[in-house]
Structure 1
Amino acid sequence: MTDTTAQSPEPTSDAELVRLFNQINRGTLGEKMGIRIVEASAERIVATMPVEGNNQPYGLLHGGASVVLAETLGSIGAALHAGEGRIAVGLDINATHHRGARSGLVTGTATPLSLGRTLASYEVVISDDQGKRLCTSRITCLLRDAAPKAQ
């Protein structure tokens, strides 16, 4: 699962935080899948992802692509909640796929179910361009202190 380190410089605004996460996303699976963060806080994380390029042989959005989007959003939220000097490590993720999408952008919105000192759980709802729910996912991350950097 994702290991998201929350040791980035403190952003000065919501726009700066979104820019920072999109910059950190460079060279990752999320970038390859076209995931773009549009809103980020410990209470709400929103991103878009294109269906094109993330579909399965039948032309529908691949269920695994939805899970990658959900894990990306939940991990970012958990890292923000964990705070500086702590990391979020994914423990569990599940997804229920309600309907398919063949084109356009999907939007994932993560909101916390539980934010504690050692665990953070998020519900992630993925919707199509018309706002219809495609997938509901839940991710739980372990929050712990980051390992000291080797000198």
Structure 2
Amino acid sequence: MAIWKRAATLETLNQRGEQTLAGHLGIVFTAITDDTLEATLPVDARTRQPFGLLHGGASAALAETLGSMAGYLCTEGSDVVVGLDISASHVRSAREGRVKGVCRAAHLGRTHQVWLIDVFDAEGRLCCVSRLTTAVLSGRPEE
């Protein structure tokens, strides 16, 4: 059974990211299943640190983008989702290609959500394990 309360397509998710940090970094939503959301991030000049490796902050930005959008899709009406806390453990580096983030819910509460986001390199090896806690704010107008 799907966890999503809002209808969305990959096209609409990617349009929402235009003219945002996600768009600037090249984050592209690639899959929606009943209980996961996936996106990719290029490993290029925008996302590498000075030593040629994927920047940890770029991995965290991918994780927060996925978790925040997933959180929003699990709300209704005028509710919005904001990040409260994010952690990221970097377990393998990436130098090129695209990394893929896979986001799944650990907890979907009325006022808080916890999302687990794994980031994999092009060969499917785990690069980063992230956890995002979000708050659901009720009655906020969309901008």
Do they fold alike, i.e. is TM over 0.5?
A: yes
Deviation at 1:148, TM superposition (A): 4.5
| Secondary structure class of the residue paired with 2:92 | coil
Q: Separation in 2 of the partners of 1:96 and 1:126?
A: 10
Q: Trace 1:108-123 onto structure 2 (pairs within 5 A).
A: 108-123=101-116
Asked if 1 retains the 8 angstrom alpha-carbon contact of 2:78 and 2:141, the reply is no
Deviation at 1:133, TM superposition (A): 0.3
Moved more, 139-148 or 128-137: 139-148
Q: CA RMSD in A?
A: 1.5
Asked if 2 retains the 8 angstrom alpha-carbon contact of 1:42 and 1:80, the reply is no
Work out the percentage of aligned pairs sharing the same amino acid: 38
1:51 correspondence with 2:43: yes
Q: Trace 1:84-99 onto structure 2 (pairs within 5 A).
A: 84-99=77-92
Q: Trace 1:32-43 onto structure 2 (pairs within 5 A).
A: 32-40=24-32, 43=35
1:20 correspondence with 2:12: yes
Task: Render the CA deviation track for 1:100-151: whole Å, top value 9, x for unaligned.
Answer: 00001000000000011111111000000110000000001001213247xx
Q: Separation in 2 of the partners of 1:45 and 1:111?
A: 7
Aligned pairs, number: 136
* Structure-1 residue corresponding to 2:58: 65
| Secondary structure class of the residue paired with 1:147 | coil
Q: Separation in 2 of the partners of 1:134 and 1:68?
A: 14
Unaligned regions of 5+ residues in structure 2, if any?
1-5
Unaligned regions of 5+ residues in structure 1, if any?
1-9
The alignment's TM-score, normalised by the length of structure 1, stands at 0.85
Task: Render the CA deviation track for 1:2-49: whole Å, top value 9, x for unaligned.
Answer: xxxxxxxx64xxxx5211010011100001100000123672110011
Runs of 4+ in 1 over 3 A off after TM superposition: none
The alignment's TM-score, normalised by the length of structure 2, stands at 0.90
Q: Separation in 2 of the partners of 1:88 and 1:62?
A: 25
